[in-house]
Structure 1
Amino acid sequence: MASKQIQCEMCSNENAIGYCKTCGYLGETCIDIHKIGKMFKTHNVSLNEENNDNPKITMRDITEERCKQHPTERTIFLCKNHDSVICGRCLHSEHHSCIKEVVDLLHGDINIDCDKVNTMKSLFNELKADILFLKDEAEHSKESYKNNADQCVEDCMELRNKIIQRVDELTSSIKDGIRERYEENINTFSHITKMCDEKIKWCDNEEIKIDDFVDNKMAGRLFLVSRHFEKEVSDARSHLKEIKHIHTFKGIGFKENKVILKCVFEDLEEVCEQHEEVTGSDDGHANDVVAFITEINKTRRELTALLKKARNELDESEKARQSLSDELKQVKQDLDKSEKTRQSLCGKLKQVKQDLDKSEKARMDIEAELKGTKEDLNRVERERVIMPAKFPHIEDHLNFKLSLNDFVLYRESTDWNS
């Protein structure tokens, strides 16, 4: 059993103070309508005890709830496409195209799966274990970095004692920086703790719901919860990982710069160095403090010698630059000569182009003449073909004349021989 506040199932504008066996839970206005409306005379309405604003409501499975659009119908189907529970009238009127994605919640397969319940609760336990681990880790880091910050403050004060008149302002600034980093770690701890408490509370609430559904044999509600259960747990884990990345503890390291400290003792220059160290890794777990410090073991005199050496190198570089400048000047002169040569070649190329243009013109003229000659030849050929057809007797006459000439020649040759 569980107590909760629900709304009127007819208007959804008021808290329920009564129950109608036909319409479901009713608010005060809807109960008054039941009293005076003719169509509600056959409805059986009962009021909650003392009209309490927070009545104790008996939990019912999802298949016993009434449809908001059709109060006389029960929600016995689940539309996966719209992720909503619907009644039979909704199925036929608004979800007809989703018929393949509709689940019958009264089907025999929709029951309490003990293995699934155990799996869900097991995942909750694992999630809570991860949360508690992160919380304990944050608690440990809080104490560790508190000692770290205190130690840094002590080191800072020791340095202040060495050069007390010249570093008061600097040490104060360093202390503020340390305290600021420490406050950031406290805020980080608060964020992590708050998030962990919220996630544990959410896990407990979800476990209570699952237990209530199992105790009351509400397979439908348990089925609805299980559909998104793994995604919700995955989202919670992702949130944990995100918290690990965003809220990281920062360690503060303090280190005396011995090189500059030597210079301080030489000319009382102010010297101090605040070293910041950040913890965290790709998987979000705290690691040991890592410091990246470039140590310079040189005094000011040694640095002066290095500066002189650097100046000499700069002079050599200037000489090399001058040499390169001279070479560049020579290259420029060569380029000028090349430009003149290029212009001369361009002139010759232009002349060659003109000669080519003339040759192309002559070629085109010859081609035109050849075309005319070809047309004349074709015309003569056509006439040669047409002439025998027009004058066939000329051809016969020519053939007869050729035969007569052959005969005369034959006779002459015969007479000559005899």
Structure 2
Amino acid sequence: MCLLFFVSQKIHIRMALASDVCGFCFKEPVFGFCENCNISLGVSCFSNHTKIHLFTSHIVFPLDNSENETCLSVPIEKDIHEQKCQQHETDPQSFYCGRHDATICGRCILADHMTCKDEIVDLHITKFDEQKANALLGSLNEIEGEIKDLQVRVDRNVKQNDECRASSIDAIKDFRKKIDLRLNQLHFEAEQSTERKHKENMNSLVELAKICKDVSLRIQMRGEKIEELSKKKQERHLFVYSKKLAIEIDEIRTAIKQSNFKNHITKFTFKEHPTLENILQKTILEIGTLQEACDGSEELVDDTHASLTGTPEHADESCARKITQPKNFTSGNQPPGKMTVESYPEIVHIKYKFLTGQQSGTPEHADESCARKITQPKNFTSGNQPPGKMTVESYPEIVHIKYKFLTGQQSGTPEHADESCARKITQPKNFTSGNQPPGKMTVESYPEIVHIKYKFLTGQQSDGKMYKALTENVHLPYSVNGINVCRMLKLAFQRKLMFTINSDGAIVYNGIKLRSTDYEMTEIDCTRLTTQLKAKGITMADIDTNDEFWGTVTVD
């Protein structure tokens, strides 16, 4: 029984010493124990603990882990109070000092434990029944079960951690492949553009070289003819030939002048895309971010306006941390909403979100977002702009503004089913309209080029025959001539003169030849288009050169 009591005391201390490092500095291994603080101490903290004024009365003692382990693991042949004292081998260790966690004899009390009399227990009169032993065993079994459960969870988290690393690395590699694929595509297109420009110059130079060769051959032949006539003394023949040759020499000189005029190339060099270079070098600081799951989330949800009975229907997508407010805090009239905080390199992003709601005693306000209302002065002038929304977003180096208008109906006018805020073009009364099917023309402006996209969906003609869908891309030079040609093309598209349907049910160009795909049309192509558009009745006089050329035109 005495040994069982001693073991129970050891177990209680062991449970207090769950950590193998100092409970104060969390660095040094455990050397001693403070009974008042109920905490383990390292060597430095143990020696300095009682020197601190606040802890001068604390009871500290060193721990000999090797002896404790031996005491708990050696075979038990007789009870502990019958064993001899380690310091006084002739006396049995009949007492237990709780202050120093040691079994001692009577001589030890007189020598070293006189101040511990309140903590000394006589092991001869100590009783420790089976119920307490079973309780200790139950505690040990419970701890063992918790350790096993913890180990299972640790193993599972190790596996999940490895899976997260593997999946993240695979995702990074896949994303890199997408970036490389797009860059390779852009690289190929840039090389193709270079080859096309080089070919254009070479075609012109080859033609001039052929002209030079032909003229040289003609000069050689005419010279040989004159020498032949001179040798034969055919003066009359030479006189007639000289007259013809004088006219031919004038023609040759004119051809040489024209060749000199054409003898030039369009010099070209590759220029990096400034936006792409700036994004890669300065704006983008990482290829992506690691999105962490529930642990560590800082999404805060205010549901103080919701009912406390039952579970609210709050569609929160992440693990939200509930904030406990003090009892007497001041609350305002802020509506229910959500605040999300995300951390990125160099910035902390905060997002506030409020859903549509209704105030007490006020009509429902169907506002999709937390919009700031702008108070207008009393006498401001109002135009006929339809209802819409303006969104402003800030990005590095640019401010993006988006205007959005939904389909609506003006007062006293039929409903206009236009999907976007499209500019209506007023046509002259007697303009010619073709059989172009319904479609859409979108014009976008980029550095050095104007991109035009024509899009037609599959449809049915008036005679019941079907026609196939078509998407065409055209690139014009970003110049005064190119922009004006773009305006005329928009007008031709509006008048349904750009395309027609052939006998095979395919949508084709209607007498206006555009170079599609990736080819960038030149100024010469723009001049040719101007002539073709004039044949369709569209000239510079029909367009407004001050009007915006970009946007979307939809033809029904």
The higher-RCO structure (CA 8 Å, 6+ apart) is 1
TM-score, normalised to structure 2, is 0.22
Name the larger-Rg structure: 1
Q: TM-score, normalised by structure 1?
A: 0.29
- Which structure has more strand as a fraction of its residues? 2
- Hey, which of these two has a bigger chunk of helix by percent? 1
